[in-house]
Structure 1
Amino acid sequence: MGNLKTKELDNIGYTDDRLKSITINTVAKHFKHQHKTDTLALLTAVKDNPAAYVGNNNLQKIAEALLIVVAEPVETFELKQQASPLKIYGGDDIEEIAKKQMRLALSLPVSVQGALMPDAHSGYGLPIGGVLATRNAVIPYGVGMDIGCRMALSIIDADEKFIKRYEHQIKQGIGTWTHFGMDGGLRVVQDHEVLDSPLFRETAMLKKLHGKAVQQLGTSGGGNHFVEFGLMTLKTDNTLGLPAKTYLALLTHSGSRGLGANIAKHYTQVAMNTCKLPREAQPLAWLDLDTQAGQEYWLSMTLAGDYAQACHDRIHANLLKALGLKALHEVENHHNFAWQDKLADGTEVIIHRKGATPAHKNELGIIPGSMATPAYLVTGKGNADALNSASHGAGRAMSRQDAKSSTTKSAMKKMLANAGITLIDGSVEENPLAYKDIQKVMNAQAGLVEIQGEFWPRIVRMNKE
């Protein structure tokens, strides 16, 4: 036992100052009662094969730091004096800090064009609701932590009578076949072809994360993720080709769980350690797609997006089967992702949509409000100034802390009861008053999307407090 000295770390190859700091703190927290000889032997094993320890709760930070140290050569960049073009939608209701973050992103030397959606608010790196086109570069924090987070809608061959008659069975089904929170999984082990994806064998890190992906398949996270049964009213001559009437529908919102979070954390650190920017812009560090790290992130991001889709596939399949229901039509779209695309002039770019929905011409999408306000089924109008994008929801009007301190649980329940909403689980952080007026948001992006129908929540489950 005893404290590790930096010279002892030098002797086993821990020469990077940041790596030493992380190692000393980790040892003090998790291995202080272990003999020093054993600790040094363990640290040597981690150094020899850091990827094998990425999923280890006690050693993950050291493993990730080791992977970063050997990742790519360091380059230093200055910001452009003249930022690239930015188009803002619904700017009167967007906080100034989000606009400032977007302008900073457009000062990066790799930035080409940007847009800010009407649900925008501040985030880390790009603001939520930020859309950014870059040249051959991907910004991990321009994608976000919950890679490939998505909306999925099943329009069902039933109507409002089903909810009234089988409310108890719906609630039972949601209780059995959904799971929220950071840890755990469904009681029945899930299967999906994504688990056999060859991408899981492409990097040591992804191999290590496969077990977590198996455990969390078919589950939802925390925050604003939800599972809702409600009523979908389609307009006349909707692009789905379904009769214009009101249907039962299932709407879900969640992402890539621990798989995506671990990918985001690791490659953000790689980017920030190899792409040096002025301090205020450092969270916007990027990975060049011609580098190994850039290619690794891209395939890992792609896998996380596929995995997020698989989670929705299992949630919808399980619930519909449990209730004896059939989907007439399914619609999905995702945000927190980067796409290879072209600008109107043919320039090839990488488009990041952090909390923004793809909205190319006639592309289907879903834009939710809150647990007591409608979601909208839309088709894109292909607006080039918006980089073929739209909002991913109503957007937060309050921080989670402000929402928690401004509303009580009983007041929220009363608000929901008055709106005809049954809440199974949920937090005051996600109460309807915490969000912008979805109607104002939709009005601000009338030039970006066309509404095909409205979904009204009736039975909602979210993460507990």
Structure 2
Amino acid sequence: MSHSLKRLIKALHKQGLTILKNNNVYQIGKVDDSKFPPIEVLLPEHFPLDNKALKQLINFAGVYHPQGGVVNTVKATPDFHAGSIVPVGAVVSTSNNFIIPQAIGTDIHCGMRLHVADIEIEQWQSKKLLLVKKLRADLLLGSRDLPMSTSSFKALFQYGLLGWLDKVKNKPLGDLRFADINQLEEELENVFELGSESGSNHWVPENLITDKREVVRDAALATIGGGNHFVEFQLLDDVYDGKQAFSWGIKKNQIAVMIHTGSRGVGQYVGNYWIDKAKKAWPTKHKYPENKIFPLYGELAKNYLVAMNSAANYANLNRLLLAEIVRRRIREVFGSNIEMSLVYDGPHNIVTHEKGSFIHRKGATPAHKDQPVLIPGSMGHSSYLMKGLGNEDYLCSASHGAGRAKSRHEMFRLNRDGKDLGVGCIDCVTLKEERIVEEAPVAYNNIEDVIAVQVKNKIVTPVAKMKPLLTFKG
């Protein structure tokens, strides 16, 4: 047992908490408190247990509301690390009508999208610079042209991509005139919940649905965002499950496009509103919770779910449009016959209603039986396409990446000290050079270890591996 783990056990003991390690699983409980929910953290053998992240996870286990509701179970995936309030890689199950907005935060429905294209690697290399020139303008300089009718935005927020497509198919505007709308409609089968949650226009920014004008130009739509979000080109390097890969339309040596982004300004608007509302709605006769985490119970929880779904619908459109920008440029450079079909689009920052409980996933991917699961590495390491096994012991959830090993502050310190950050092997297009330092390969855990421990514990099984070729960072 390491010295740091011994210190952690001693510190937890003073709080009346116990910690046991069983193979790769840390189990945390509370002495003489049957109401304290079980906490489990799954980590590769040599990964340290992040003390700050664990404290944050324990705080969420203790969340309550005076009017009712309980936390049932708390889990953490192998990319577990500390966040501002919520640890990334947290999966929290609560009772019906009991939701914790802070467990999701403001990047609502952030997720991954994966497309594949039949392009030979030699052809890719020979025309890459032309593609980069076109996409740099679209993705980083704002040259895209995506006006939206307010009626299509209203349909999006209320009905999701199904409603949005119904509005735009008859009169596509701007760059959407070049899109194959029928293909977009068919691909909804490969989007989580068809990209169409039950939302409402009541909770979204008014400027996107105003009746004062017919067409809106939203500067945030079809943008990557900052931090670890990206658009990445990859080579489908290996296939482990040929039968499953064939059914999902993938094969070795294809070019893959992986997109990681979320709900942008809409998520910020909805998330901040409800985090603030939960605090204001706290019953006045009761003390504020010591952990400063404010849940919602009853009707307010139901309303939050509708508001969150509205932002989720926007996130789905954001990823769809980013992919459509890439698809258009791919066809211009490599040929109009390139299909660039969608493999899957799924979230990892969302609340879902499953078997009478609300499952809060913060940086954790749904991994139900036979469901595609996208787990990217850093921009210098491989990413994986997995298949979920529906393991209910882990709340049908997998990691959403390798997990951050070093903070952004630490990365800048290492860079100042002249340390090797592993950036020699990457090809990154960005307007902000600090992104390369913040998101350098050294900042992240070993993706192979993160994948292996989840395979060992029967959470997911591997289908294919992709190695990075070129990454766009916002």
User: So what's the TM-score if we normalise by structure 2?
Assistant: 0.72
Unaligned runs of 5+ in 2: 1-32, 65-69, 159-198, 211-215, 332-337
Identity, in percent, stands at 28
The structure-2 alpha-carbon separation of the partners of 1:173 and 1:282, relative to structure 1 and needing over 3 Å to count, comes to same
Match of 1:363 in 2: 371
Residues 263-274 of structure 1 mapped to structure 2, 5 A cutoff: 263-274=270-281
| Aligned partners of 2:241 and 2:462 also within 8 Å | no
Q: Quick one: which of 42, 64, 74 aligns to 1:89?
A: 42
| Aligned partners of 1:115 and 1:130 also within 8 Å | yes
Q: Which one has the largest radius of gyration?
A: 1
Match of 2:169 in 1: none
Unaligned runs of 5+ in 1: 1-79, 343-347
Measure the CA separation in 1 of the matches of 2:117 and 2:407: 35
* 1:101 correspondence with 2:108: no
Residues 21-420 of structure 1 mapped to structure 2, 5 A cutoff: 82-90=35-43, 92-109=47-64, 110-135=70-95, 136-179=97-140, 185-191=142-148, 193-194=152-153, 196-197=155-156, 199=158, 202-203=201-202, 205-208=204-207, 210=209, 214-233=218-237, 234-241=239-246, 242=249, 244-275=251-282, 279-283=289-293, 285-288=294-297, 290-291=298-299, 293-324=300-331, 325-342=338-355, 348-407=356-415, 415-417=422-424, 419=425
Q: Deviations over 1:287-346 (max 9, x none)?
A: 12x32x33332112112111111111111111111121321342111111100002xxxx
| Alignment RMSD (CA, Å) | 2.5
Deviation at 1:191, TM superposition (A): 4.2
Measure the CA separation in 2 of the matches of 1:248 and 1:434: 26
| Aligned partners of 1:339 and 1:350 also within 8 Å | yes
| Aligned partners of 1:143 and 1:354 also within 8 Å | yes
Match of 1:438 in 2: 447
| Aligned partners of 1:209 and 1:259 also within 8 Å | no
Measure the CA separation in 2 of the matches of 1:149 and 1:385: 24
| Aligned partners of 1:373 and 1:438 also within 8 Å | yes
| Aligned partners of 1:114 and 1:386 also within 8 Å | no
Measure the CA separation in 2 of the matches of 1:258 and 1:422: 28
Measure the CA separation in 1 of the matches of 2:365 and 2:145: 32
Q: Deviations over 1:36-94 (max 9, x none)?
A: xxxxxxxxxxxxxxxxxxxxxxxxxxxxxxxxxxxxxxxxxxxx774212222107433
* Equivalent pairs, count: 369
Residues 12-23 of structure 1 mapped to structure 2, 5 A cutoff: none
Deviation at 1:451, TM superposition (A): 1.0
Q: Deviations over 1:162-203 (max 9, x none)?
A: 3211111221132122138xxxx5541244955533538632
- Look up the equivalent residue of 2:410 and give its one-letter code: D
- Look up the equivalent residue of 2:111 and give its one-letter code: R
| Aligned partners of 2:423 and 2:436 also within 8 Å | no
Q: Quick one: which of 416, 424, 427 aligns to 2:436?
A: 427
Measure the CA separation in 2 of the matches of 1:405 and 1:229: 29
The structure-2 alpha-carbon separation of the partners of 1:458 and 1:303, relative to structure 1 and needing over 3 Å to count, comes to same
Measure the CA separation in 1 of the matches of 2:391 and 2:309: 25
- Look up the equivalent residue of 1:196 and give its one-letter code: A
The structure-2 alpha-carbon separation of the partners of 1:179 and 1:243, relative to structure 1 and needing over 3 Å to count, comes to closer
Measure the CA separation in 2 of the matches of 1:309 and 1:411: 39
The structure-2 alpha-carbon separation of the partners of 1:329 and 1:320, relative to structure 1 and needing over 3 Å to count, comes to same
Deviation at 1:416, TM superposition (A): 3.3
The structure-2 alpha-carbon separation of the partners of 1:317 and 1:97, relative to structure 1 and needing over 3 Å to count, comes to same
- Look up the equivalent residue of 1:102 and give its one-letter code: L
User: Which is bigger in relative contact order (C-alpha 8 A, separation at least 6)?
Assistant: 2
Bigger mean CA offset, 83-92 vs 209-218: 209-218
| Aligned partners of 1:115 and 1:385 also within 8 Å | no
User: So what's the TM-score if we normalise by structure 1?
Assistant: 0.74
| Aligned partners of 1:236 and 1:244 also within 8 Å | no
The structure-2 alpha-carbon separation of the partners of 1:424 and 1:384, relative to structure 1 and needing over 3 Å to count, comes to same
| Aligned partners of 2:154 and 2:201 also within 8 Å | no
Give the secondary-structure state (helix, strand or coil) at the position aligned to 2:218.
helix
